[in-house]
Amino acid sequence: MLCTSTRFFLLTTSTARLALAAPLSSSSSSYFFSTNNYYNPISFSSLPNKPKPNSKPLLTTSTSLYFTLRADHTMASQSNPNSIHDFTVKDAKGNDVNLGDYKGKVLLIVNVASQCGLTNSNYTELSQLYDKYKQKGLEILAFPCNQFGAQEPGSLEEIQDFVCTRFKAEFPVFDKVDVNGDSAAPIYKYLKSSKGGLFGDNIKWNFSKFLVDKNGNVVERYAPTTSPLSIEKDLLKLLGA
């Protein structure tokens, strides 16, 4: 619900935006809004009363105010996540997966690759952990990434076939993502900001690992060379097993 004392109007350029009107000075009845790099003053006898005759209408778009406010709220909540559970990602078939569905689960999130020197040992041990603890609440989320030595060049179908055929892995493999740079997936920006690495936040190589508790909090980060089986003691603490 909008506060009745809030002075606002809706303006459009290429898209509808919501702007708060602010007085140019304490003694002035002129209000301004900012669009791109210029100011456009609008004078009102008072706000939120009707504007003077010949002035432009406050609402200049057919987009409903409710929709605009709702969209802004959604964007804000996604840009300020409180936990991993606030994210939606794509699975290997392009379907949305709400990570809120994993509430109450312990998560091990890994950026994977099929042609890395760490591939065999990591996939083998990850599968062992999953088989041993999936009934106790462990989920492993694998995100293919081709940023390190171009060692994950295949299509999602080829990656799925490789994982299932060679390692009999049953944990979910998601859409291919970037984990570093401007194009990094939002979930990885959040993971890195939650747990920085020894020499900076960036992911160093394939098979970096993040451990997430049942409430969606990132509690630990492991280097690519860390054996998945060596994480077992940390998993047990979170699983309560």
Query: Which positions are annotated as active-site residues?
Result: 116
Return the C-alpha torsion angle 190, 194, 195, 196, nearest 10.
70
Residue 35 in tokens:
């669009």
Task: Judge contact between 207 and 183, C-beta under 8 A.
Answer: no
Alpha carbon 98 to its chain centroid, in Å, reads 11
Return the C-alpha torsion angle 100, 104, 106, 109, nearest 10.
0
Alpha helices in the chain (DSSP H): 65-79, 119-133, 156-167, 186-194, 232-239
* Residue 158 phi, psi (nearest 5): -65, -40
- CA 214 – CA 193 distance, rounded (Å): 19
Strand partners, 11: 17
